[in-house]
Amino acid sequence: MNDRKTTEKSPQPAQPQPGTRRQWLLGAGGVLAAAGAGVWAWQRWSGQAGAGQTAAEQAFWALQLPGLDGQLQALQQYQGRPLLVNFWATWCPPCVRELPLLNHVARQQPQVQMLGIAVDKAANVTKWLQREPLAFPVLLAETGGMGLTRELGNINGGLPFSILWDATGRMRQRRIGAFSEDILQRWMTSV
């Protein structure tokens, strides 16, 4: 008889092979992209996006945001002419450096409307605008502004974030980061 005790090792879970997790993530990303494309195609085919606009575009134009006076303003009032929307905040250095350029171009090229949407508190925006008035309207998105920019394609949530809309309310260009004068001029003449 053998007095020696044997100890069984519990089986160890198999270690993933190098690259397996990455392949899985890439595959999952591909599936999500395909699903998103399918939803987009279905909305377009079924007419749910309406008038050639995507669901995100429709949601944007359906919004009402408060002005500095607290009164709600419908974004739909800006349809009918090209519109450059700039999301900014007083706490964002690239944003406040860019605003004088946007202000200058708004005065020089009135064929394209300009709208600022501040992702900031009303008191901060009012105080900043008293020092640096702008020639275009500013509405307030406050803390909900970052979520709004993500819905419009600003996946990383960076500011400033700008969108150029054509006269039919379709999104034509998006930009994360401040404009150079050259890029802004090209945008203004592209619609």
pTM beyond 0.75 = no
Amino acid at 88: W
What is the rounded CA–CA span in Å between residue 133 and residue 126? 9
Question: Do strands 64-66 and 72-74 pair parallel, antiparallel, or not at all (unpaired)?
Answer: antiparallel
Q: What is the DSSP string of 37-51?
A: HHHHHHHHHHTTT-T
For residue 67, the 8-state DSSP code is: B
Residue-range domain boundaries for the chain: 16-48, 55-189
> Distance (Å, rounded) from C-alpha 55 to C-alpha 90?
30
Tokens at residue 56, please?
């995100």
Continuous H helices in the chain: 20-46, 55-62, 93-108, 122-131, 145-151, 181-189
pLDDT in tens, the chain (191 residues): 544 444 344 444 444 455 544 443 343 333 333 333 433 333 343 333 445 789 999 999 999 999 999 999 999 999 999 999 999 999 999 999 999 999 999 999 999 999 999 999 999 999 999 999 999 999 999 988 999 999 999 999 999 999 999 999 999 999 999 999 999 999 999 98
Burial tier of 102 (Cβ tally within 10 Å: 0-12, 13-18, 19+) = buried
| CA end-to-end distance (rounded Å), the chain | 93
Query: What is the CATH code for 55-189?
Result: 3.40.30.10
Instruction: Give which of 56, 49, 60 is closest to 83, Cα–Cα.
Output: 60
Is the C-alpha dihedral spanning 102, 180, 174, 126 positive or negative? negative
